[in-house]
Amino acid sequence: MIDVTDQNVVVEKAELIKAIAHPIRLCMVKNLIENHGANVSTIQGCLGASQSSVSQHLAKLRALKIVEARREGKEMFYYVTNAEVCRIVEILFDEK
C-alpha cells in the first residue's frame, strides 16, 4: 500500500492527475488506450488539433511517463504505458 503521508508520493499522484486533466490530453490518452496506440497523424485527425499541439501534449505525457513512443518503420507510435492512468481513465469513463 502507498503511504499517502509521504509528500513526494502525493505530489507525484497530483502531477499525474493534472496531466490528464487537460481535455485534449484526456482525449488523447483515452483514444490511445482504446486503440492500443496510434501515430501522430492518427491522433491529430481524431482530435482535429494541429501537429504542433499534439506534439506538445505528447511531450508532456512522455515526460511524466504516461505514454511511450516506439518506432515502427518510418513512424513513431505512442502507447499508454502507465497502469495507474489506465485505471483512472477506465473509472472516469465507466458507463455503469
**Any domain includes 29:** yes
Could you list the residue range(s) of the whole structural domain that residue 65 is in? 7-92
Could you tell me if residue 67 is inside a domain? Answer: yes
Asked, for residue 82, whether it belongs to a domain, the answer is: yes
CA distances from 45 to 1, 18, 66, 75, 93 (A): 40, 24, 21, 15, 22
| pTM for this entry | 0.85
1 assigned to some structural domain = no
DSSP per residue, 25-74: HHHHHHHHHHHT-EEHHHHHHHHT--HHHHHHHHHHHHHTTSEEEEEETT
Name residues of the chain where pLDDT drops below 50. Answer: none
> In this predicted structure, what is the pLDDT of residue 7?
86
Q: In what order do the strands lie in the sheet with 38-39?
A: 38-39, 75-80, 67-72
What total number of domains does the chain contain? 1
> What is the CATH number for 49?
1.10.10.10
Residue 2 is assigned to a structural domain of this protein? no
d(CA 20, CA 18): 6
Question: How many other C-beta atoms are found inside a 10 Å radius of the C-beta of residue 88?
Answer: 17
The answer to whether residue 75 is domain-embedded is yes
Residue 78 lies in a domain: yes
Model pLDDT for residues 30-51, shown as the tens digit of each residue:
999 999 999 988 888 878 888 8
SS (H, E, C) 76-87: EEEEECCHHHHH
